[in-house]
């Protein structure tokens, strides 16, 4: 059994991972609020936890790992989008959810065991609020139900902030009905034209923090192993989620390992619409394949800030071209099932050191390119693909990678055939014109004794 070490926000150190039950390793990761196109940060974080999921499955067995990542489909951001566009709320959340799932698939992320939607767990949320009221950790005020932070002596332990720091550094709604400005909403009233559900406190909807407590406790239990998300969620979301969970379920420690992904920046500064450096995933994926973006994410340690540049994206694409070119040259070699490199597994077990893990892929490719006989080629092709799988890379057919899976493939093939006929007729001007036309479209031709091959650049 391999020992995994993870940076644990709760202890502020790198801890050895010891699951509550090796036969049921459980991980919960905060997913998106579905109101708009996913942005770059929405792509980076799931890639990090996908690698962790792959590692957990390798170490403990796929059947012994449960990975849950939620969908927030009731939130004020969704209401604002409804007001802004006039679209029905259900249409907004469904369309955005489908965009997100498509983006995750393009990035090569494995599907979690469950993607619960908040709106499917409203009754469970109501029951948690009842428990908090009964336990003296919540109170009613002007149609709202709020969590009382003063009722929990250890409040702030996850983020490691004092109450003064928490109030100063977060966007906390100031309201006269709060006993303490840091008290947060568990349930709030809804207007007749807003999403809402009947509850003991009137027609209303849940607070954001409450949603994850309900979904995680229902699907993973009140105590589970890993809770993940971007480090922008540490406070107030995860702090509040942790507090209400431990108070609703006495003797629960909720999540044992809090693993947070670093902030995403663009060209060295925080990504924001006001700075004009805000990019959605679909905007970026117009310029390069999603797998190149995934590789770029993995070149930095998940826990550290990540700096996105289009130059870096281009370099990642060039690296994948090198990898796929090696596979294309050896496409006739049938791979066999082998274990990932021990060095790569050691790198991932050390707090998901993906930059170090990637060096083993480069080593595999170099060895494959130098291999002189089919047995050596089989060995290194198999090793390369086994190692790449752990990082969610090289999952495409090499020919598709270079040619693309576009509708215009048949058109390109037809032009190549026309060029071949022109060459047979010694019509060199036409043959050269077709080659140049395709080159301008990013299509490179290579004439070989077996025929003409092509690939995109």
Could you tell me if 280 and 369 lie in one domain? yes
Residue 275 has pLDDT above 70, yes or no: yes
What residues pair up with 114 in beta bridges, in sequence order?
A: 68
- Percent of the chain beyond pLDDT 70? 96
Q: Which has the closest alpha carbon to 392: 41, 49, 51, 29?
A: 51
Q: Which residue would you say has higher pLDDT here, 56 or 440?
A: 56
CATH number at residue 201: 3.40.50.620
Could you tell me if 73 and 187 lie in one domain? yes
Q: Which of residues 246, 261, 276 is at a domain's end?
A: 261
Question: Tell me: the pLDDT tens digits for 138-163?
Answer: 999 999 999 999 999 999 999 998 77
Q: Given this model, what pLDDT does residue 408 score?
A: 60
Question: Tell me: the pLDDT tens digits for 423-432?
Answer: 888 888 888 8
Domain count, the chain: 3
Q: Would you say 435 and 446 are in contact if contact means Cβ atoms under 8 Å apart?
A: no
Could you tell me if 201 and 325 lie in one domain? no
Coil, helix or strand at residue 348: helix
Instruction: Dig out the tokens for 419 from the structure.
Output: 């060029």
Beta-strand relationship, 65-69 and 25-29: parallel
Average pLDDT over residues 79-90: 92
Could you tell me if 140 and 72 lie in one domain? yes
Q: Given this model, what pLDDT does residue 213 score?
A: 97
Could you tell me if 118 and 233 lie in one domain? yes
Average pLDDT over residues 258-271: 94
Handedness of CA 138, 256, 51, 215 (dihedral sign): negative
The pTM assigned to this predicted structure is 0.89
Q: Which of residues 235, 261, 287 is at a domain's end?
A: 261
Q: Given this model, what pLDDT does residue 189 score?
A: 96
Instruction: Dig out the tokens for 147 from the structure.
Output: 């969590």
Question: Tell me: the pLDDT tens digits for 218-242?
Answer: 999 999 999 999 999 999 999 999 9
First to last CA, the chain: 43
Could you tell me if 150 and 232 lie in one domain? yes
Handedness of CA 38, 113, 221, 53 (dihedral sign): negative
* CA distance linking residue 348 with residue 356, whole number of Å: 8
Could you tell me if 382 and 423 lie in one domain? no
pLDDT bracket for residue 172 (50, 70, 90)? low
Residue 402 has pLDDT above 90, yes or no: no
Residue 35 has pLDDT above 80, yes or no: yes
Average pLDDT over residues 256-265: 96
pLDDT bracket for residue 415 (50, 70, 90)? confident
Could you tell me if 234 and 345 lie in one domain? no
For tokens 């999952």, name the residue.
395
Q: Given this model, what pLDDT does residue 39 score?
A: 95
Task: Measure Cα distances from 26 to 18, 128, 220, 257, 303 in Å.
Answer: 11, 21, 6, 11, 20
* CA distance linking residue 64 with residue 83, whole number of Å: 44
CATH number at residue 370: 1.10.730.10
What is the rounded average pLDDT for all residues in the chain? 93
Could you tell me if 351 and 410 lie in one domain? no
Could you tell me if 215 and 318 lie in one domain? no
Instruction: Dig out the tokens for 335 from the structure.
Output: 């791979």
Could you tell me if 204 and 349 lie in one domain? no
* CA distance linking residue 222 with residue 188, whole number of Å: 24
Q: Buried b vs exposed e over 228-248: b needs ≥16 C-beta within 10 Å?
A: bbbbbbbbbbbbbbbbbbbbb
* CA distance linking residue 147 with residue 136, whole number of Å: 9
Q: Given this model, what pLDDT does residue 412 score?
A: 76
Q: Given this model, what pLDDT does residue 413 score?
A: 74
Structural domain for 272, as ranges: 266-401
Q: Which of residues 199, 234, 261 is at a domain's end?
A: 261
Q: Which ranges in 249-397 belong to alpha helices (H)?
A: 281-284, 290-298, 310-329, 342-349, 354-370, 374-391
Q: Given this model, what pLDDT does residue 113 score?
A: 98
Could you tell me if 312 and 291 lie in one domain? yes
Query: Residues near 148 by Cβ (< 8 Å), separated by ≥ 6?
Result: 136, 137, 138, 139, 179, 180, 183
């Amino acid at each position: 059994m391999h020992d995994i070490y993870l940076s644990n926000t709760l202890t502020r150190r790198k801890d050895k991972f010891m699951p509550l039950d090796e036969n049921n390793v459980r991980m919960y990761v905060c997913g998106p609020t579905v109101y708009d196109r996913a942005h770059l940060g929405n792509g980076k974080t799931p890639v990090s936890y996908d690698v962790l999921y792959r590692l957990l499955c390798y170490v403990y067995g796929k059947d012994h790992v449960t990975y849950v990542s939620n969908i927030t489909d009731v939130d004020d951001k969704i209401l604002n989008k409804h007001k802004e566009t006039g679209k029905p709320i259900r249409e907004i959340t469904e369309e955005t959810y489908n965009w997100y799932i498509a983006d995750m698939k393009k990035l090569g992320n494995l599907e979690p065991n469950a993607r619960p939607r908040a709106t499917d767990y409203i009754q469970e949320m109501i029951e948690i609020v009842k428990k908090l009221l009964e336990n003296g950790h919540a109170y009613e005020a002007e149609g709202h139900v709020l969590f009382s932070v003063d009722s929990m002596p250890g409040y702030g332990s996850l983020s490691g902030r004092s109450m003064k720091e928490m109030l100063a550094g977060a966007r906390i709604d100031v309201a006269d009905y709060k006993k303490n400005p840091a008290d947060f909403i568990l349930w709030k009233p809804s207007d007749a034209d807003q999403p809402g559900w009947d509850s003991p406190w009137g027609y209303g909807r849940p607070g954001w923090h409450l949603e994850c407590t309900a979904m995680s406790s229902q699907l993973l239990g009140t105590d589970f192993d890993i809770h993940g998300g971007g480090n922008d969620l540490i406070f107030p979301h995860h702090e509040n989620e942790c507090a209400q969970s431990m108070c609703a379920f006495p003797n629960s420690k909720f999540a044992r390992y809090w693993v947070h992904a670093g902030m995403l920046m663009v060209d060295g500064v925080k990504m924001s619409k006001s700075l004009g450096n805000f990019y959605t995933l679909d905007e970026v994926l117009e310029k390069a394949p999603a797998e190149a973006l995934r590789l770029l994410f993995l070149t930095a340690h998940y826990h550290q800030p990540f700096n996105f540049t289009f130059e870096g994206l281009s370099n990642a694409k060039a690296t994948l071209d090198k990898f796929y070119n090696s596979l294309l040259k050896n496409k006739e070699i049938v791979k066999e099932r082998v274990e990932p490199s021990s060095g790569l597994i050691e790198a991932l077990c050390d707090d998901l050191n993906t930059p170090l893990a990637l060096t083993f892929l480069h080593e595999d490719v170099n060895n494959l390119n130098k291999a002189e006989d089919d047995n050596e080629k089989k060995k290194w092709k198999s090793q390369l693909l086994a190692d790449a799988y752990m990082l969610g890379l090289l999952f495409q057919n090499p020919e598709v990678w270079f040619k693309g899976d576009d509708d215009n493939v048949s058109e390109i093939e037809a032009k190549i055939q026309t060029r071949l006929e022109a060459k047979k007729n010694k019509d060199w001007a036409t043959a050269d014109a077709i080659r140049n036309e395709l080159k301008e479209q990013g299509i490179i031709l290579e004439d070989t004794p077996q025929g003409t091959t092509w690939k995109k650049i």
